[in-house]
Amino acid sequence: MRIGFFFRPANPCGWRDAYVADLVEAAAVLGHVPVVFAMAEDAAELPSKTVETHVYAPPRLLPAALRLRLFHNWLVKEAPRHALDITIGFGAGGLPDILVMRSVEESRLLAVCEHALPFDQIVISLEKEACAKASRVIALSPRIREELIATYGVPPERIRVVRPPFQKPAACSLTRRELRDKYGVPQDRTVFLFPSFDVKGNGFDFLKRYFTSNPHDFMLLAAGRPVPGNRFIKSVPRLENMSDLYRLADYTILAAPYDPVGTIAWESAACGTPVVATENIGEPEELPEDVCRTYSPLEINSLGLLMDDLAKNPLSPASQSRIPHERDEHTLQAHLQTLLIANS
């Protein structure tokens, strides 16, 4: 089967991930012919040179929303020319048969207390049009489903929740002490791992305000590109498999004001590391209370009160066997097949 992928790795939240590229490779493994449509600046993100690709290059000096509008217009004309059996899109851009929603632009703006400006309205209108035209809308979390119903008026019966797989932790024979020695992390500090430093809009500056002079001598371990270090903040390279860093930390901390999928929380809990996250990340209530604590996004006092409580009543390492979630059994191939079945 020839499957068209509308490749848009830069989603409205501003972050990039390998989700779409991995699905393309999963399609090839299953014997399908993936046909990728992408903007020129995303060419480096394409999964393989052997995949059939079609690239559009809108003028670089245009604002991102206008470039997306031009990309959308091109997709509407170009995709039907390639004898595709089915098309899969990811948010705004094109009119796919299966629309996979990882975020909702109107909800994102509400979460960060911003009004929709004219360029924002372009993205919102493209998402609404795609939702209306798709034969099936896939929400990657229950929260996204509720947002689609409330903000875009998508009929509930047209939405199916399909959770994405998350990275299962690799086996590790090293103890926490040995892992800290390996990565140069102090043994006597309470460490909060921040695994999303390279992500735009991830809340790092917000966390930096707290950790730079926090009263409990907590350490923020930022995984990604280097940051100026001090006693309270240390950077380490982001690993392809993050399980080592999850296991050496006392907590994983997430600060994005809007991330309705929240896969990182499950990855951390699966490694036995409790999670501290904003209320707008994923579905924190699905994790056991002794595994995840939340605070209000953008409110430094809310974070401070939670940290005061953790200093007095620290969370114990999570029991990996207590993470009741079907995603840990899913492969990318199985996930793709679920998306395709959802359209039948």
Tokens coding 341 = 């079945």
Tally Cβ neighbours within 10 Å of residue 60: 8
Q: What is the reported pTM?
A: 0.85
Q: Are the CB atoms for 259 and 272 separated by under 8 Å?
A: no
A 10 A CB-CB count for 165 gives 21
Token readout for 79 is 């995709």
SS3 assignment, position 103: coil
Q: Regarding beta strands 52-56 and 191-194, do their DSSP bridges make them parallel or antiparallel, or are they unpaired?
A: unpaired
Tokens of 276: 């501290």
Selection from 262, 319, 270 nearest residue 168 by Cα: 270
Q: Give me the count of residues in the chain.
A: 344
* Centroid of chain to Cα 50: 27
Q: Which two tokens stand for residue 46?
A: 């394409």
Indicate the SS3 state at residue 152.
helix
Phi, psi of 277 (to 5 degrees): -145, 155
Q: Which amino acid is at 188?
A: D
Q: What pLDDT, on the 0 to 100 scale, is given for residue 260?
A: 86
Pairwise CA distance, residues 214 & 234, whole Å = 14
Task: Cite the DSSP H helix spans in the chain.
Answer: 19-29, 64-78, 105-111, 118-133, 142-152, 176-183, 204-211, 243-248, 263-270, 300-312, 332-342
**DSSP-assigned letters across all residues of 153-176:** ---GGGEEE-PPP--PPPP----H
Q: Which of 135, 122, 123, 132 is nearest to 152 (CA)?
A: 132
pLDDT tens, per residue, the chain with 344 residues: 999 999 875 544 444 457 888 889 899 999 999 999 988 776 666 666 678 899 999 888 999 899 999 999 999 999 999 999 999 999 889 999 999 998 899 988 888 778 888 999 999 999 999 999 999 999 998 999 999 999 999 999 999 999 888 767 777 888 999 999 999 999 999 999 998 755 556 888 889 999 998 999 999 999 887 777 788 999 888 777 788 999 999 999 998 888 888 788 888 888 889 999 988 887 655 666 678 889 988 789 999 999 999 999 998 776 554 554 444 445 888 889 989 887 66
CA distance 22 to 281: 23
Residue 157 backbone dihedrals phi, psi, to 5 degrees: -70, -15
Token output for 111 = 């979460």
Structure tokens at 216: 């409990």
User: At 29, phi and psi to the nearest 5?
Assistant: -60, -35
- End-to-end, the C-alpha distance of the chain in Å comes to 14
| SS3 assignment, position 328 | helix
Dist CA 315 CA 162 (whole Å): 30
Distance CA 173, CA 217 (A): 29
Q: Which residue has the tokens 């992408």?
A: 38
Measured distance CA(176)–CA(172) in Å, rounded: 10
